Structure 1
């Protein structure tokens, strides 16, 4: 597909979701304590995955403790969000697993510190999950990328009291995002799309030096369109668009969209 686009002379963009996958992979690998916790988590899940009897006993405990009966989820290496789901499934069954471990042998156990690390890791990775879903939606457009990356970098750059134990991971994630998406504001395919989108315009550009070239690129595109209009009597109808950011402001990442937007309005 990429070769076909190249031969047709059609400009192409890399997969945003895949770049996020690589960034998260770097972050998870950056901290040994997280890797150790994940290794133990996989052993625990493998114990129930390969034993119908073990899972049946865990299910009985879930029913007895009136906890939703759910299976523990195994992650897949090529999908970073599956690791997030795995940690969430374990955290949701923390009490039932403690009861099970008191009565039966497990191939591994999670320490109090490791449970805490997973809780903090889930909190840090939640915005990545939101962004991955947003850019994978059928309604996603190129215009969404610059604002979404701006919001994601702001979330990662904030210091939180809950960062203890995962600071290396969080710092590496921020560095990976900055490196892998450093080109988006200078790429006309992204910048022009954001400028012409009434929800975003020029409000989410982090680098002021990128804004001038972006506007120049937009002017060139408009001039090309004017030339095409003169050569053709068919004028395309304008598409109406919502003026609100695509992500809900109720989410951890979506609320940052509104924050950046308000700051931009105050500077004007």
Structure 2
């Protein structure tokens, strides 16, 4: 940064409660920073215009997003806060950053400024009673007014933008309609939050790029158990959605590139090899996610599974021997006792077990033709693919998110509140089970089917 951060009305620590206003010093340094010769350049070394519109380089085949503006002068609607926000990023970027990275940094800064301005606009429309009443009574307006987001909850920001975009005509009419009862200060605040055509286009692009993330969040954060297979399928779908399309607007293309860079950082670089392998195996053994895998992922699963199947072969053999001995003891006839007396084995001759390679081939054929859910598949093939069944149980029980456990702890904290502090741990456990009693019938059905 070309200047040090200051705070207005900084308290002077002395005997008297005096305040020193250093706003003038900040404005002087802001002017000096704006006059630096090395401004941000985009595209074919073109400087940013007064409206902060991005000029996209012609070598990436994306036309310029500069659109015609309204007759209103934008300078009239730029507040002091917005001028301070425009200096959140340094005006001089390292020369090593290439052109596309400069564009991505600039679009991030413009998006940040847009969200702040939209939040300010929504706050003004909600706080001024006459405007809020006008919005609610408008024939095309939201009956419950606009939504003000919570800054630490990104999905609340998405819903705020979604409602503003959906009622864009109402928002525009607020700037046109003459409200006789509002003060000059309120008029000035409303004018400072004005959104031009270029900002509306950027807001629409931001909404479009965040919509899949909101749906994915609901999919993985619901009450149902989010498995690794579901998480891996969701990640691949999001990754595909972040690829640039021919009909994408310039703003949408840059936002996708910016988010895709962070997406790959967390899911390709920071994700460990073991985590990714477990997600691939869980997807390969799940009939609902198996078809969504790429051929490369399927080949990776076929390479990893033989080693895991060898580890469970011994445990399956021991389990089969113990089970057959128990059955022999409980269902012995006089003939069986006679055979045991003379030394003839009474154990049922088990069919020859499948080899690991043969089991994988048969599993691949069975899962491709199966059209049902995870539980139905493995209840039907648990004995035929005993090794894979054990692996599927171990991998699929791993939760993809901490939402289920956090939800249970939240409910338990509400049940065991101070008004019910005398509850025993056993009673609390039973209450938590009874809360999910609508799922008990489904569990009993699965348990009964597993007995046959």
TM range (shorter): 0.5 to 0.7
Task: Report which stretch shifted further, 145-154 or 211-220.
Answer: 211-220
Alignment-derived partner of residue 74 in structure 2: none
Distance 1:193 1:95, change over 3 A: same
Give the paired residue count: 210
Alignment-derived partner of residue 165 in structure 2: 91
Aligned counterpart in structure 2 of residue 219 of structure 1, from 301, 309, 318:
309
1:133 aligns with 2:218: yes
Distance 1:100 1:69, change over 3 A: same
1:145 aligns with 2:231: yes
Alignment-derived partner of residue 153 in structure 2: 79
- Give the TM-score taking structure 2 as reference length: 0.41
Q: Structure 1: how far apart are the matches of 2:241 and 2:148?
A: 28
Distance 1:142 1:48, change over 3 A: same
Deviations 1:170-205 (A, max 9, x none): 112112222212237752432222121111237424
- Structure with bigger gyration radius: 2
Alignment-derived partner of residue 199 in structure 1: 288
Distance 1:239 1:132, change over 3 A: same
User: Are the counterparts in 2 of residues 146 and 190 from structure 1 also a CA contact under 8 Å?
Assistant: yes
Q: Structure 2: how far apart are the matches of 1:136 and 1:204?
A: 22
1:239 aligns with 2:316: no
Aligned counterpart in structure 2 of residue 54 of structure 1, from 131, 135, 144:
131
Q: Structure 1: how far apart are the matches of 2:321 and 2:200?
A: 66
User: Are the counterparts in 2 of residues 184 and 190 from structure 1 also a CA contact under 8 Å?
Assistant: no
Q: Structure 2: how far apart are the matches of 1:94 and 1:145?
A: 35
Q: Structure 2: how far apart are the matches of 1:28 and 1:48?
A: 31
Task: Report which stretch shifted further, 212-221 or 144-153.
Answer: 212-221
Alignment-derived partner of residue 117 in structure 1: 202
1:229 aligns with 2:304: no
User: Are the counterparts in 2 of residues 142 and 193 from structure 1 also a CA contact under 8 Å?
Assistant: yes
Distance 1:42 1:163, change over 3 A: same
What root-mean-square deviation, in Å, do the aligned CA atoms of Structure 1 and Structure 2 show?
3.2
Alignment-derived partner of residue 14 in structure 1: none
Structure 2 residues without counterparts, runs of 5 or longer: 1-103, 180-186, 325-373, 379-452
Q: Structure 1: how far apart are the matches of 2:116 and 2:282?
A: 42
Alignment-derived partner of residue 255 in structure 1: none
Alignment-derived partner of residue 190 in structure 1: 279
Q: CA deviation at 1:117?
A: 1.0
- Give the TM-score taking structure 1 as reference length: 0.67
Q: CA deviation at 1:233?
A: 4.0
Pairs within 5 Å for 1:36-47 = 36-47=113-124
Q: Structure 1: how far apart are the matches of 2:107 and 2:311?
A: 42
Higher helix share: 1
Q: Structure 1: how far apart are the matches of 2:323 and 2:213?
A: 45
Q: CA deviation at 1:217?
A: 5.7
Q: CA deviation at 1:93?
A: 1.9
User: Are the counterparts in 1 of residues 244 and 256 from structure 2 also a CA contact under 8 Å?
Assistant: no
Distance 1:231 1:69, change over 3 A: farther
Structure 1 residues without counterparts, runs of 5 or longer: 1-26, 243-268
Distance 1:90 1:157, change over 3 A: same
Q: Structure 2: how far apart are the matches of 1:216 and 1:152?
A: 30
Q: Structure 2: how far apart are the matches of 1:168 and 1:194?
A: 31
Q: Structure 1: how far apart are the matches of 2:136 and 2:289?
A: 48
Q: CA deviation at 1:115?
A: 0.7
Q: Structure 2: how far apart are the matches of 1:49 and 1:231?
A: 72
Task: Report which stretch shifted further, 194-203 or 214-223.
Answer: 214-223
